[in-house]
Chains A and B, each alone.
Chain A
């Protein structure tokens, strides 16, 4: 056997051994990650309360808030979120035991359609995929998978000669036995998901970087000092004045006119401004946040676009690229499909491995041993 051939074989063995010992773990993470892409839509499907009734002019936000507060005794609104025209407005409320509940309010009829508390399906799947419900050990374990994933991509590209042919001449032979079929699936699927593999491993490794930074006590937020309402600007009254949410939104829209509204966070503490966030359409990955004084409705700060610390900016972009949550349903569909393809790659890799690599490894060892004896 020539040296070049032997080297290819070694690359091939690296390719096989990178993922095989952990294949089931990788398979689980790929599968849960694919489902997590649509976790919000799956909730929407199973929970009629989350669905918006449809067309018509939306009621003022203060009417929606009033309806939500009437439905939850001692509930105090902490945020209002808009998920799109098909999803009801989510009004989160703090409740006396220190937890929070979500009221789903139809924006057109102003009716509370349901109240959910505790862990939602969406949060559960994100936690299961991201940290196996055990933080931070699970977070480290999952994000470290970026290394074998990236390694498998690189070695795969070396091993699979002229892989680009799979782009214009994909070939999957179903009639020549299971080994051939799994092999073809693995090669064609792998070639078509080069971009996705690279994206998932790099963004996955970024989550490793963030948890390391976090454990070292590095700030991951905006880096800017927090914007606070000055004591002198607060009225001297007996009880907390009510804030008009519609006036807060009007002030935010005056500052960023073409914004697609996503969320308003309402402070419980007088010194903290209300925070409106949305995307302005120019840079879908980079949301704008507008801080508004909740009593004078004066805009205190607008931050968005590239006006952020490098770490914060990278975090936002990496997260959006990892989850596919930046361009609506079409992007999510692509992410879901390629996520399943990645899951299939792991499975087919394992199938090929059990049918071939064990033998190949034994053979490579034998050749090397034979070589060493002949050189000796």
Chain B
């Protein structure tokens, strides 16, 4: 037994090859499975019903210490034929120039990095603005604590 250990211990690194095995089914799944829990909300902005998704994790820190939360917006088929863009912002936008972070991505799923204030009172709202090709704005409001993730702070 001791002899086996002496001879075999340096081949143990071969066990690393087993590491990818448990991840294979998820990797070859049709839709990649989320690796952390997610928060899902369906929001309605005018004629549009959009999915709002975020990881159930506290916000990230950017390079300069700013607090950032990434949101995913999902669309129904045909929605993006009339939508110019979707913007997300904490707090009510005051003008067309301050609609917030522009969601970027494909026709069915887009992502936006939303800046958060350093201190949250818990009463903030996430404002989602849909701008259509004819220039109309449609808005939806979600209490931020419901869609912040982590412990909601």
Contact B80 A236 (CB under 8 A): no
Name the B residues within 8 Å of A216 (CB-CB).
Answer: 63
Contact A240 B81 (CB under 8 A): yes
Interface SS, B side: mixed
B45 within 8 A of partner (CB): no
Contact B30 A99 (CB under 8 A): yes
Instruction: Tell me the total A-B contact number using a CB cutoff of 8 A.
Output: 125
Asked whether A21 and B85 contact (CB < 8 A) given A240-B133, A271-B102, the answer is no
* Complex interface residues of chain B between 1 and 47 (CB less than 8 A to chain A): 7, 10-14, 16-17, 19-20, 23-24, 27-32
Q: Report how far A239 CA is from B12 CA in the complex, Å.
A: 61
Closest-by-CB residue of A relative to B14 is: A24
Supply 23 A–B pairs (Cβ within 8 Å), ascending by A. A23-B13, A25-B16, A76-B107, A78-B106, A94-B106, A96-B76, A98-B31, A98-B108, A98-B109, A99-B32, A117-B30, A124-B27, A132-B19, A133-B23, A134-B19, A141-B16, A219-B63, A237-B134, A239-B81, A240-B133, A268-B110, A269-B86, A272-B102
A238 within 8 A of partner (CB): yes
Closest-by-CB residue of B relative to A98 is: B109
Closest-by-CB residue of A relative to B106 is: A94
Contact B13 A94 (CB under 8 A): no
Closest-by-CB residue of A relative to B72 is: A98
Name the A residues within 8 Å of B76 (CB-CB).
Answer: 96
Binary contact readout A103-132 vs B (1 if CB under 8 angstroms, 0 otherwise): 000000000000001110000100110001
Given A231-B96, A239-B82, A240-B82, 5 more A-B residue pairs with CB atoms under 8 Å apart are A23-B10, A133-B20, A138-B20, A234-B84, A269-B85
Contact B63 A134 (CB under 8 A): no
Interface SS, A side: loop
* Complex interface residues of chain B between 59 and 75 (CB less than 8 A to chain A): 60-63, 74
Question: Residues of B at under 8 Å CB distance from A?
Answer: 7, 10-14, 16-17, 19-20, 23-24, 27-32, 60-63, 74, 76-77, 80-82, 84-86, 96, 102-110, 133-135
A97 within 8 A of partner (CB): yes
Name the A residues within 8 Å of B108 (CB-CB).
Answer: 76, 94-98
| Cβ-neighbour of B109 out of A94, A218, A236 (below 8 A) | A94
A217 within 8 A of partner (CB): yes
Contact B133 A118 (CB under 8 A): no
| Cβ-neighbour of B84 out of A94, A269, A350 (below 8 A) | A269
Asked whether A119 and B27 contact (CB < 8 A) given A96-B77, A98-B74, A240-B81, the answer is yes
Name the B residues within 8 Å of A24 (CB-CB).
Answer: 11-14, 16-17
Q: Report how far A223 CA is from B28 CA in the complex, Å.
A: 34
A270 within 8 A of partner (CB): yes
| Cβ-neighbour of A240 out of B11, B29, B31, B80 (below 8 A) | B80
| Cβ-neighbour of A133 out of B27, B30, B102 (below 8 A) | B27
Name the B residues within 8 Å of A132 (CB-CB).
Answer: 16, 19-20
Chain A proximity of B20: nearest CB distance (Å): 4
Name the A residues within 8 Å of B31 (CB-CB).
Answer: 97-99
Binary contact readout A343-358 vs B (1 if CB under 8 angstroms, 0 otherwise): 0000000100110000
